[in-house]
Structure 1
Amino acid sequence: MNITASLVKELRERTGSGMMECKKALVETDGDIELAVEQMRKSGLAKADKKASRIAAEGSIFLCGADDGKSLVMLEVNCETDFVSKGDEFTGFAESVAAAALGAGVEELEALRKVTLPSGNTVEQARLELVAKIGENVNVRRFVCFTSVNGTIGSYLHGIRIGVLVEVEGGDEQLHKDVAMHIAASKPEFISENDVSEQVINREKDIFMAQAKDSGKPENIVEKMVEGRMKKFLGEITLVGQPFVKDPDIKVGKLLQQKNARVLRLARFEVGEGIEKKEENFAEEVMAQVQGS
């Protein structure tokens, strides 16, 4: 059968693959475009499986909110390069996943992977097809959904790399935005001292005690030193204990009091945090190739 340019073009549009790859698939299927699409999808998914072990530490943070403002989803999707993270195909996929997470009301990542998108594919099927299409590993890493009955969900996106959700009771829209921005900048681990576990407190106290005793000071002085360092430590890791980024003369806890507001929960995502990135050594790579040849 004669493989026409229009047939190749149609297959390219449907699969996103290269011209020669499309022409080859059409020749192998004797011009049956549906069969060609099926074979290319199978081939692409096989390639996607091979890319699964590749480190994906770049990507973007996405937000998707309900019309009534009472629910908001924050999602991190990773890829291998910054270039891909800014592409329309990657962004379109991630936005559809965020919307699916909001609409499905799921809480676990495994459940989200099984949610069906408007395209008819599940999230996982769409991810695999995207990997095959763009040639990079893509990973839906994590998401969180805040739904508030009596409070308000504040949010902040710093570019595409840092995202924050914060549920606040009381206050106004400007306060909610300011607190979310502060969380993005200052990275509090807890809302208040009451949220810090005994394990964390005892660990730090032991460290400070050992450091203070090494100073050779009397026991009563050592106790005061440890007390002061613990107070400083708890102020640094708690939202209410941190100096407000827009006005360091006031702490966030005091700001909330002034606005008759209370933070109920918070979440902060930063692209790639906690992912061990592969260190590239191009000199060693070239040397290995030279020795191999």
Structure 2
Amino acid sequence: MQITSQMVKDLRDKTAAGMMDCKKALAETNGDMEKAVDFLRQKGLAVAAKRAGKATSEGTIGVYVHAGGKLGVMVELGCETDFVAKTDAFVDFAKDVAMHIAAVNPVGINRDDIPAELIAREKEIYVNQALDSGKPAAIVEKMVSGKVDKFIAESCLMEQKFVKNPDLTIQDKLNEVIATMGENISIKRFSRFQVGAE
């Protein structure tokens, strides 16, 4: 199939990948736009895995303050070089992550950051709900296990659906940025401030 410049442009607009990467993805998938998107996402995962061990000692602080000044977030993003830290794409990603945190209020960055007491409290609530509804004890554990896993996924930043594109998780978006930048990038920490909240 003939790969046109318009097809390459459309894929680039959709994925923000490089022009040559888009052209190669379309060639590999015989011009199928959806398969080309998947091809680029898999490539992003491969780049992210290859770069994962690299130190991220440079970076930036992304800040988002919601209208009215009652809610604000600061997030630290790390990267390998000062050059990448100063790019518009990197700074914009930091702002997007800060905005996402303001909107969704994650408990931690990864599953390991979710306090065990919080998980235990949620599990207890789910067990009591299931028992009160008359479910047999054998089924309760399986039901509760699924609900607890869903709670953890919704509480940790990397597994949350990205507010600007619910088709992607924050981890997916991070992988895309790593593939585009060609450097390891990490979300190191965040703080969310809300007037009147403890």
Partner AA of 2:45 in structure 1: L
Residue number in structure 2 paired with 1:145: 192
Distance 1:6 1:148 in 2: 48
In structure 2, stretches of 5+ residues that fail to align are 111-155
Aligned to 1:114: 159
- Tell me the secondary structure at the aligned position of residue 175 of structure 2: helix
Which AA in structure 2 matches 1:126? K
Deviation digits for residues 133-155 of structure 1, max 9, x if unmatched? 111111010011223329xxxxx
For 1:35 and 1:82, how far apart are their aligned partners in 2?
A: 34
Paired residues of 1:107 and 1:145 also in contact (CA < 8 A): no
State how far apart, in whole Å, the 2-side matches of 1:23 and 1:73 are.
Answer: 38
Q: Give the TM-score of the pair, scaled to structure 2.
A: 0.68
Identify the residue that residue 136 of structure 2 maps to in structure 1. Answer: none
Any residues of structure 2 matched to 1:268-283 within 5 Å, and which?
none
* More displaced stretch, 23-32 vs 44-53: 23-32
Identity %: 41
Are positions 1:82 and 2:127 aligned together?
Answer: no
Matches within 5 A, 1:11-160: 11-110=11-110, 111-117=156-162, 118-120=164-166, 121-149=168-196
Counterparts of 1:78 and 1:149 in 2: how far apart (Å)?
Answer: 30
Structure (1/2) with the larger helix percentage: 2
Matches within 5 A, 1:197-236: none
Deviates more, 1:39-48 or 1:5-14: 5-14
Measured in 2, the distance between the counterparts of 1:20 and 1:101 equals 33
C-alpha deviation, 1:100, in angstroms: 1.2
Secondary structure in structure 2 of the residue aligned to 1:96: helix
Report which structure shows greater RCO (CA 8 Å, sep ≥6): 2
Structure 1 distance, partners of 2:70, 2:24, is: 51
1:100–1:115: 8 Å Cα contact kept in structure 2?
no
Cα offset for 1:91? Answer: 1.5
Q: Is the 8 A contact 1:61 1:76 kept in 2?
A: yes
How far does residue 59 in structure 1 lie from its aligned partner after superposition? 0.8
Q: Cα gap change, 1:41/1:55 in structure 2, threshold over 3 Å: closer, same or farther?
A: same
Q: Contact between 2:8 and 2:23, CA under 8 Å: does it hold in 1?
A: yes
> Is contact 2:26-2:36 (8 Å) kept?
yes
- Superposition deviation, residue 16 in structure 1: 3.2
3-state DSSP class of the match of 1:75?
strand
Structure 2 matches for 1:254-273, cutoff 5 A?
none
CA distance in 1, matches of 2:21, 2:65: 40
Q: What is the letter of the counterpart of residue 144 of structure 1?
A: S
Q: What are the equivalent positions in structure 2 for 1:1-12 lying under 5 Å apart?
A: 1-12=1-12
Q: What's the C-alpha RMSD, in Å, of the aligned pairs?
A: 2.1
1:105 Cα deviation after fit: 2.2
Give the distance between the partners of 1:73 and 1:23, measured in 2 at CA: 38
- Structure 1 distance, partners of 2:172, 2:108, is 17
CA gap 1:20/1:61 in 2 versus in 1, 3 angstroms: closer
The residue type equivalent to 1:99 in the other structure is M
Letter in 1 for 2:159: K
List per-residue Cα deviations over 1:158-194 (Å, max 9, x = no partner). Answer: xxxxxxxxx9xxxxxxxxxxxxxxxxxxxxxxxxxxx
What residue identity is the alignment partner of 2:49?
D
Normalised to the residue count of structure 1, the TM-score between the two structures is 0.48
Q: Give me the whole-angstrom Cα distance separating, in 2, the residues matched to 1:52 and 1:63.
A: 25
